[in-house]
Structure 1
Amino acid sequence: MKFLVTGAAGQLGTDVVAHLADTDHEVDGRDRAMLDISDATAVDRALAATKPDVVINGAAFTAVDRCENEVDVATAINEHGVRHLARACARHETHLIHISTDYVFDGTLDRPYREDDTTNPQSVYGRTKLAGERAAFDELGDDATVVRTSWVCGEHGNNMVKLVIRLAAGDTPLAFVDDQRGCPTFTADLAPSLVALAEQRPGGVVHLTNSGAVSWYEFVRATLTASGHDPDRVRPISTAELDPPRPAPRPANSVLDDVRWRALGHRPMRDFREPLSELVERL
Structure 2
Amino acid sequence: MINVLITGANGQLGYELRRTAPQFARLFCTDYHQLDITDEVAIQAFFKSSTPAIVINAAAYTAVDKAEMDVETARAVNVTGAELLAKACANNKIPMVQVSTDFVFCGGKSSPYHADDQPQPLSVYGHTKLEGENHVREILPQSSLIIRTAWVYSAHGNNFVKTMLRLMQEKDQLGVVADQVGTPTWANHLAQCVWNGVSHLLEGTVHSPVHHYTDAGVASWYDFAVAIQEEALQLGLLDKAIPVSPIQTIDYPTPATRPAYSVLDKTSSWTELSAPKVHWRVALRQMLAELAG
How many Å apart are 1:159 and its aligned residue? Answer: 0.4
Any conservation in 2 of the 1:150–1:185 contact (CA below 8 Å)?
yes
SS of residue paired to 2:93: coil
How many Å apart are 1:188 and its aligned residue? Answer: 1.4
Q: TM-score of the superposition, structure 1-length normalised? A: 0.95
Q: Which residue matches 1:221?
A: 226
Q: Which residue matches 1:209?
A: 214
- Partner letter of residue 241 of structure 1? D
How many Å apart are 1:198 and its aligned residue? Answer: 0.6
Q: Does 1:90 align with 2:90?
A: yes
Q: Which residue matches 1:102?
A: 102
Any conservation in 2 of the 1:153–1:186 contact (CA below 8 Å)?
yes
Q: Does 1:19 align with 2:24?
A: no
Which runs of at least 4 in structure 1 moved beyond 6 Å after TM superposition? Answer: none
Structure 2 CA distance for aligned equivalents of residues 141 and 189 of structure 1 = 26
Any conservation in 2 of the 1:115–1:259 contact (CA below 8 Å)?
no
Q: Which residue matches 2:73?
A: 73
Moved more, 83-92 or 269-278: 269-278
Q: Does 1:252 align with 2:293?
A: no
Any conservation in 1 of the 2:152–2:187 contact (CA below 8 Å)?
yes
Structure 1 CA distance for aligned equivalents of residues 171 and 77 of structure 2 = 39
SS of residue paired to 1:73: helix
For structure 2, the residue ranges without an aligned partner over 5 or more in a row are none
Q: Which residue matches 1:282?
A: 290
Q: CA RMSD of the aligned region, Å?
A: 1.4
Alignment of 1:1-283 (within 5 A): 1-20=2-21, 23-201=23-201, 202=206, 204-228=209-233, 233-242=243-252, 245-264=253-272, 266=274, 269-283=277-291
SS of residue paired to 1:55: strand
Q: TM-score of the superposition, structure 2-length normalised? A: 0.92
Structure 2 CA distance for aligned equivalents of residues 13 and 193 of structure 1 = 13
Structure 1 CA distance for aligned equivalents of residues 120 and 275 of structure 2 = 29
Shift in CA distance, 194/168, structure 1 to aligned 2, threshold 3 Å: same
Shift in CA distance, 267/255, structure 1 to aligned 2, threshold 3 Å: same
SS of residue paired to 2:170: coil
The alignment covers a number of residue pairs equal to: 280
Provide Cα deviations, 1:122-156, integer angstroms capped at 9, x if missing partner: 10000000000001011111211010000000111
Shift in CA distance, 223/9, structure 1 to aligned 2, threshold 3 Å: same
Any conservation in 2 of the 1:48–1:92 contact (CA below 8 Å)?
no
How many Å apart are 1:265 and its aligned residue? Answer: 5.7
Structure 2 CA distance for aligned equivalents of residues 49 and 18 of structure 1 = 24
Provide Cα deviations, 1:32-89, integer angstroms capped at 9, x if missing partner: 1001111111112212221112111110000000000000000000001000000000
Any conservation in 2 of the 1:44–1:85 contact (CA below 8 Å)?
no
- Partner letter of residue 253 of structure 1? Y
Structure 2 CA distance for aligned equivalents of residues 231 and 114 of structure 1 = 38
* Identity within the alignment, %: 37
Structure 1 CA distance for aligned equivalents of residues 270 and 16 of structure 2 = 23
Structure 2 CA distance for aligned equivalents of residues 214 and 181 of structure 1 = 6
SS of residue paired to 1:35: coil
